[in-house]
Amino acid sequence: MGLQDFLAGTDLLVQPLGEADAPRLQSLFEACPDYFERCGLPLAADEALQELRSAPPPDFAWAAQWHLGLVQPGHERLVAVLQVCSEAPAPGVWHLGLLMVHPAHRGQGLARRLVAALEAWAVQSGARWLRLGVVAGNEPAERFWCRQGFRELRSRVSQVAGQPPGPVRVLLKGLSGSPALADWADYLAAVPRDRQPLDSLCRLADVLPLRSPAGRVQLRRMRESDLERFHAYRSDAETARFQGWTLAREPAESAAFLREMSGAAIGEPDQWVQLAIADAGDDRLVGDIGLCLRARPPSEVPGADTHPLSAWMGITLHPGWRGRGLGREAFVALQDFLLEAGGLLEVECWVDARNTASIQLLEASGMRRFCSEVRDFRGAPCEEHGYRRWRGRC
């Protein structure tokens, strides 16, 4: 079976392209100058011939490669083209190297239908994942692929011969329907080249205090000298109303917790640690963020490591410092470090559906709701919303 078998609902015909088809492909390229401009590539006079003669680099394993043109019956002009490799760069992975639609046929859902057909073809052929690269900053392409369910694994430096190096976002979509993180764990075990450098989690303790980009707050370790302000909000019943921590009745309880957190390991999977949110000017405590790195799900792929892929986060602010955007600043600073410096794919938060202030903070920090569940909270049913932010723009 091929792509044609999965193009139901269209009148397009699929044609394998060879070097003899270079003039037709060149015409399509010349009709799409925006593609080359956004990718920072000059359009060569023999661009199509170079493309049809191209092959993956020597260190990129693959089984088969197709350049496929799409035409309307009775017409020679290419409506679209795609280039795809199977078993690339590992068994079970298909790599999409090029998808281009003629401007006259854009805005009609054709690209979306082509991607759906490609996914169905890949699944029928035994693929578990579809992989591609998009030039960082090509916003129309980034938005499109995010809408199709692709997520960023890492950024790489382009090594296209004759072109200046530039950042390329490696995107992946799981096709097997398994839980996302388990799927990513299997993929990254099978494709080491797409593993993000893993030094950021080790460096988190070393970069503290971590100042927010706006410069008003910084994240640091908790200290025993934070006791007065920490106990003020940890003993406040209204502040604790929607929180998972237990109300502190006595200052001694808060002091013991601060001593524990002041020396707690940062970056240990499945272990919660509280980081202080402090005023960047006088270093006085204004709140704290709870962080728990989630251990990678067990993988069935031999050689898989256990480096975390995601983290849970939670935030508490002193009542006197709410409503100023300080919590959002601190939250975004920590999220950006975990996601952009490398290592993690996502951060996740759960919030009581009645906690409108926290919901506003999460959404302002770039997180998006992905589900709602009824859970037990202090012996009573409670609706909670799950929020998530993925690496990159997706």
**Extents of the domains making up the chain:** 3-177, 200-390
Would you state the pLDDT for residue 154?
Answer: 83
pLDDT at residue 282 tops 60? yes
The residue whose two tokens read 């694994």 is 153
Instruction: Domain 3-177: give its CATH architecture.
Output: 3-Layer(aba) Sandwich (3.40)
Q: Give the model's confidence band at 162: pLDDT under 50 very low, under 70 low, under 90 confident, else very high.
A: very low
Q: CA dihedral in degrees (170, 175, 181, 184; nearest 10)? A: -40
More confident residue, 43 or 158: 43
pTM exceeds 0.75 = yes
Fold identical between 3-177 and 200-390?
Answer: yes
pLDDT at residue 9 tops 80? no
Q: Percentage of residues in the chain with pLDDT exceeding 70?
A: 91
Would you state the pLDDT for residue 8?
Answer: 80
pLDDT at residue 114 tops 90? yes
Question: pLDDT (tens digit, 9 = 90+) per residue, 316-348?
Answer: 999 999 999 999 999 999 999 998 875 788 999
Q: CATH 3.30.70.270: does it fit domain 200-390?
A: no
Would you state the pLDDT for residue 207?
Answer: 86
CA dist 9 to 1, 49, 357, Å? 17, 31, 46
Q: Percentage of residues in the chain with pLDDT exceeding 90?
A: 68
